């Protein structure tokens, strides 16, 4: 079945440094890749997304890259701040038979002040 793998599971960075989270997906028909941020006790919130016809997208300090050939996509956060500390999930929208969204297992990001 469809699968999304995400790593690292935990990432600790110093404030101001960059953070990179990487994901791979299995369903070659997937063509929509959202990233979510989840804070304690809350539901996930979309922070950025990318479609398969684009290789890179940037929104202020956040950027996402996609390599469809390798089935890899990555989240880059620059100039990290303590408020970036949260769990981040990558996801892929399954292209087979519907619009199921398959999530990775998450990366817990700690930004140390």
Partner 1 sequence: GAGVSQTPSNKVTEKGKYVELRCDPISGHTALYWYRQSLGQGPEFLIYFQGTGAADDSGLPNDRFFAVRPEGSVSTLKIQRTERGDSAVYLCASSLRFERGNEQFFGPGTRLTVL
SS3 88: strand
Q: How far apart are CA 38 and CA 31, in angstroms?
A: 23
Binding site residues, partner 1, CB under 8 A:
4, 6, 31-32, 34, 36, 41-46, 49, 51, 89, 91, 93, 95, 97-106
Distance of closest approach, residue 15 Cβ to partner 1, in angstroms: 25
**CB of 42 or CB of 70, closer to partner 1:** 42
Distance of closest approach, residue 24 Cβ to partner 1, in angstroms: 14
**CB of 49 or CB of 65, closer to partner 1:** 49
Q: Is the omega angle on the peptide bond into residue 8 within 30 degrees of 0, that is, cis?
A: yes
Contact 11, 108 (CB under 8 A): yes
**CB of 40 or CB of 113, closer to partner 1:** 40
Q: How far apart are CA 31 and CA 65, in angstroms?
A: 13
**CB of 42 or CB of 113, closer to partner 1:** 42
Distance of closest approach, residue 37 Cβ to partner 1, in angstroms: 11
Paired sense of beta strands 19-25 and 72-77, if any: antiparallel
């Amino acid at each position: 079945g469809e699968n999304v793998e995400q790593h690292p599971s935990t990432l600790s960075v110093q404030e101001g440094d960059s953070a990179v989270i990487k994901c791979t997906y299995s369903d070659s028909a997937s063509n929509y890749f959202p990233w979510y941020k989840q804070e304690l006790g809350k539901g996930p919130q979309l922070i950025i997304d990318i479609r398969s016809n684009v290789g890179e997208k940037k929104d202020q300090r956040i950027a996402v890259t996609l390599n469809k050939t390798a089935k890899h996509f990555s989240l880059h956060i620059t100039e990290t701040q303590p408020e970036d500390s949260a769990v981040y999930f990558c996801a892929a929208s399954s292209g087979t038979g519907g619009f199921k969204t398959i999530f990775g297992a998450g990366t817990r990001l700690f930004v140390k002040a």
